[in-house]
Amino acid sequence: MNNQNSQPDPEQPNHQDSTADTQDFTLLNRYWDAANYLTVAQIYLQENALLQDPLKAEHIKPRLLGHWGTGPGLSLVYVHLNRLIRNTGAKVLFLAGPGHGGPAVIANLYLEGTYSEVYPRVDQNHDGLRELVRQFSTPGGIPSHVGPPTPGSIHEGGELGYSLAHATGAVLDNPELIVACVVGDGEAETGPLEGSWKAPAFINPARDGAVLPILHLNGHKISGPTVLGRQSDEQIEALLRAHGWDPVVVSGSDPELLHPQLAAALDDAHAKIVSIQQQAREHGVDGPAPWPAIILRTPKGLTGPAVVDGEKVEGTFRSHQVPLSGVRENPEHLAQLEAWMRSYAPETLFDATGRLLPELAALAPEGQLRMGANPAANGGANPVPLTLRPLENYALDVPAPGATKHETTKVLGEMLRDIYLDTQDDPRFRLFSPDETNSNRLGSVFEATDRCFMGTAHDGDDHLSPDGRVMEVLSEHLCQGWLEGYLLTGRHGFFATYEAFAMISASMTVQHAKWLQHARELEWRNPVPSLNILLTSTCWRNDHNGFSHQGPGLIDTVLSLASSVVRVYLPPDANTLLAVSDHVLRSEDYVNLVVVDKQNHPQYLNIDDARKHAAAGASIWHWAGNEAPAGDDGGKAAPDIILASAGDVPTEEILAASWLLQSWVPDLTVRVVNVVDLMVLAPGDAHPHGLSEKAFAELFTTDGEVIVAWHGYARAFHQLLHGRPHPGRFHVRGYSQQGTTTTPFDMVAVNGMSRYHLALNALDRVSGDFAGARELAEHCHGMLAKHESHIREHLEDLPEIRDWVWTPPQPPEGV
């Protein structure tokens, strides 16, 4: 057995010249005992944390909650990683996939000292130990799984499936980092986790760090076996090998035999990582690297009660949660618990003051090498903001509003291209997408970088190389999971995806927002760059894909989350998209949804106006209405009708409706309001972006009728208005599931969003008689009928709709 010391860190004084021999493991095993002891103590005790008194019922918590089964395995890995770090100086981040192993991870953080540094009330003494055990799963305390309050963590152990994706995202452009990612055999059954094994196709050892998966098979879930747990070592090795890993199995139930095996496996894995990276960094990459992986097979609840009430517990699903129940009421269980806890001999682990004995404390690494203190887990060591070039570099020339069309997202591609160029020396930006970069018109990024792929290149491949930093993989889970890992370690990114299919990772969006919300409450947590999600191929433009490809539901999902964290933008055109993108890329700790279609759309605002519009969140578009200019009459009268929109297709339709109304009914005063930051609609006490009452009234008056053309479900718009004056005057046309048809005009028609529907809605809400109103209504009904038959005959929109652009309204010919 050779100890690998390939990357010594000269600042780390405590390298041992150890070998994986037995002397080491006596101490290490006692350290593991301490971790296991504290794990049990957290689950059961509210007093007498070190068992200095005989255990009594009143020491036991009134409610026993938590998970024991995964704990010993997690601690085993943790203490062996400590050993590896001390021997090698490796910078290791620990990801606990089995998140319910919270008490084990916290036990190790406490033992290495990081927990007390972050939470001084949980100090290294009796009082601190009492806090440690009492806080676990109790009111006002900490949850039973790893989460934002856990030092050294970037991974919430609640919703299973994303540990390996988060680990992969964390190592991208983090060349010195090793993420040791423990994957439980429960989590290993989830789709997202199974999909994550393909990481070797995307990790470049020349520039990225390394993920070291430790697939921990304890064989059982809450009440049944795991699929992998019942497969042979060979079968599991073959599975990981097929995904490109170089796995090794460590298996057993006798700690004396396990320790040297696991130590050797970790030493070997580290040596392989160093060798792969050295080779790649000195000689370049050559296909996907055979990254080491460890398959660790130990009994569930190892060192816990073997048998309880005559039933086997250790090594079975019965050790999943609380192996001994009713301890307060059942003296036998109480005695068994005491015997179990005393089996770790706490008096030989902690001194009389409650402090871990020095010879054990010396087994933990020091300073930032402790896994609970790895700066990567707290937004990165030195998070560097992006330097963004002036938007004028990308701005479309918009000589007249609405007169020209352009693919709205194309300019964003140019902006992202320059971000890639400007971060070449300090790579900290990546675009993630399920294979849609060109399709999303973001292809300009390929002037600066390639698609990342470690696999074989073929002739005819387009911008594909191991050095590329555009991450394309047909998995929303991987795109978002990688990005989350990248962001939580302090880097920046964009996730561009199909609007309807953004629901695939909606639960991840929810969990990430919860993480950010919780992390913001913790003073010691650094802010991290925002999760920016670009939703394109929207519900209104699915020319051929149809009903299954339409769904604005992610907006609704996001709206229910904490207002401190979520933002939704619907830029109507390219320059506004630039202004919004500039903002979201500078922002921190948000989930920003940016909803914009990739297709050709009319362009309205020059870059200056777009900046102002985006900053305001919503503005009156005076050029699109016909009110007298402000000041002319010393105080504007309210318009006869307000037309409001949010979203690109709805904006085009509302403008065309305004144009129809002004053209046919010239005496009608029309105001057009465009909303780009959805949250301005909410009252100020509901969202920090909410407009003041005054600002809201300046846009929408306090009682005027408003026809709204809105991108999403009408209810989403309505609910934001809750608390605004007379919300019933807002007549919202949005997407609905009324129809199952295929094509754009049909969808606009089915959902009542066409310019003709909107103009008719407006006429319905206007009080008083206006010359031309009846004729316009007839025209609208006629056009709807004519268009319906035209598209079925000619398979495309009527020319007067297809080719319509904004021009100064004038009476129609012949009227």
Among 145, 328, 469, 724, binds a copy of itself (CB under 8 A): 145
User: Own/partner pairs for 413-416, CB < 8 Å, 24+ apart?
Assistant: 413/437, 413/440, 413/441, 413/442, 413/443, 413/444, 413/445, 414/444, 415/388, 415/389, 415/391, 415/578, 415/581, 415/582, 416/442, 416/444, 416/445, 416/494
- Distance in Å, CB of 239 to a copy of itself, minimum: 4
Among 1, 57, 222, 630, binds a copy of itself (CB under 8 A): 222
Give me the helix-helix angle, 476-488 and 506-520, nearest 10°: 10
User: Own/partner pairs for 585-589, CB < 8 Å, 24+ apart?
Assistant: 585/386, 585/388, 585/419, 585/492, 585/494, 585/529, 585/532, 586/385, 586/386, 586/388, 587/529, 587/530, 588/527, 588/528, 588/529, 588/530, 589/516, 589/519, 589/520, 589/527, 589/528, 589/530, 589/565
Which residues lie closer than 8 Å to 324 by C-beta, 6 or more apart?
Answer: 305, 308, 333, 336, 337, 340
Which structure tokens are listed for 524?
């010691």
Task: Give how many residues touch a copy of itself by CB under 8 A.
Answer: 130
| Positions 707 through 726 that interact with a copy of itself (CB under 8 A) | 713, 715-716, 718-719, 722
Q: Cβ closer to a copy of itself: 158 or 260? A: 158
CA neighbours within 13 Å on the CB side: how many for 297?
Answer: 18
| Positions 454 through 493 that interact with a copy of itself (CB under 8 A) | 455-456, 458-462, 464, 472-478
Which structure tokens are listed for 379?
């937004």
**Residue 263 in the binding site for a copy of itself (CB under 8 A):** no
d(CA 128, CA 121): 6
- Distance in Å, CB of 735 to a copy of itself, minimum: 9
Q: Cβ closer to a copy of itself: 15 or 520? A: 520
- Distance in Å, CB of 316 to a copy of itself, minimum: 5
**Residue 194 in the binding site for a copy of itself (CB under 8 A):** yes
- Distance in Å, CB of 651 to a copy of itself, minimum: 22
d(CA 101, CA 218): 13
Among 98, 247, 529, 553, binds a copy of itself (CB under 8 A): 553
Among 169, 195, 292, 305, binds a copy of itself (CB under 8 A): 195
Among 26, 424, 545, 807, binds a copy of itself (CB under 8 A): 545
| Positions 430 through 449 that interact with a copy of itself (CB under 8 A) | 435-439
| Positions 197 through 216 that interact with a copy of itself (CB under 8 A) | 197-198, 201
| Positions 9 through 68 that interact with a copy of itself (CB under 8 A) | 46, 61-63, 65-66
Selected range binding a copy of itself among 324-332, 571-579, 641-649, 793-801, rule: CB under 8 A:
793-801
Q: Cβ closer to a copy of itself: 477 or 757? A: 477
d(CA 622, CA 629): 8
- Distance in Å, CB of 633 to a copy of itself, minimum: 35
Dihedral pair phi/psi, residue 795, rounded to 5°? 65, 20
Selected range binding a copy of itself among 113-121, 560-568, 593-601, 662-670, rule: CB under 8 A:
560-568
Strand partners, 447: none
- Distance in Å, CB of 324 to a copy of itself, minimum: 16
| Positions 274 through 333 that interact with a copy of itself (CB under 8 A) | 311-312, 315-318
| Positions 337 through 366 that interact with a copy of itself (CB under 8 A) | none
User: Own/partner pairs for 345-350, CB < 8 Å, 24+ apart?
Assistant: 345/33, 346/34, 346/37, 346/50, 346/51, 347/50, 347/51, 347/52, 348/30, 349/30, 349/33, 349/34, 349/37, 350/34, 350/50, 350/129
| Positions 642 through 701 that interact with a copy of itself (CB under 8 A) | none
| Positions 150 through 179 that interact with a copy of itself (CB under 8 A) | 156-161
- Distance in Å, CB of 715 to a copy of itself, minimum: 4
Selected range binding a copy of itself among 17-25, 514-522, 654-662, 673-681, rule: CB under 8 A:
514-522
d(CA 561, CA 590): 11
Selected range binding a copy of itself among 524-532, 557-565, 572-580, 760-768, rule: CB under 8 A:
557-565
Selected range binding a copy of itself among 86-94, 336-344, 401-409, 453-461, rule: CB under 8 A:
453-461
| Positions 582 through 621 that interact with a copy of itself (CB under 8 A) | none
Give me the helix-helix angle, 410-422 and 574-586, nearest 10°: 30
Residue 190 to residues 232, 296, 472, 652, 680, Cα–Cα distance (Å) = 19, 19, 21, 43, 39
Q: Cβ closer to a copy of itself: 240 or 657? A: 240
- Distance in Å, CB of 70 to a copy of itself, minimum: 13
Among 556, 588, 693, 698, binds a copy of itself (CB under 8 A): 556
DSSP state of 567: E
- Distance in Å, CB of 559 to a copy of itself, minimum: 7
Tell me the residue ranges of DSSP E strands in 605-724. 618-620, 641-646, 670-675, 706-713
Instruction: State the Cα angle at 550 between 546 and 553, rounded to 5°.
Output: 165
- Distance in Å, CB of 709 to a copy of itself, minimum: 18
- Distance in Å, CB of 575 to a copy of itself, minimum: 27
CA nearest to 430, candidates 478, 395, 382, 396? 478
| Positions 728 through 787 that interact with a copy of itself (CB under 8 A) | 737-738, 740-743, 745-746
Residue 710, helix vs strand vs coil? strand
**Residue 243 in the binding site for a copy of itself (CB under 8 A):** yes
**Residue 551 in the binding site for a copy of itself (CB under 8 A):** yes
**Residue 800 in the binding site for a copy of itself (CB under 8 A):** no
Which structure tokens are listed for 458?
């073929």
Selected range binding a copy of itself among 219-227, 248-256, 290-298, 664-672, rule: CB under 8 A:
219-227
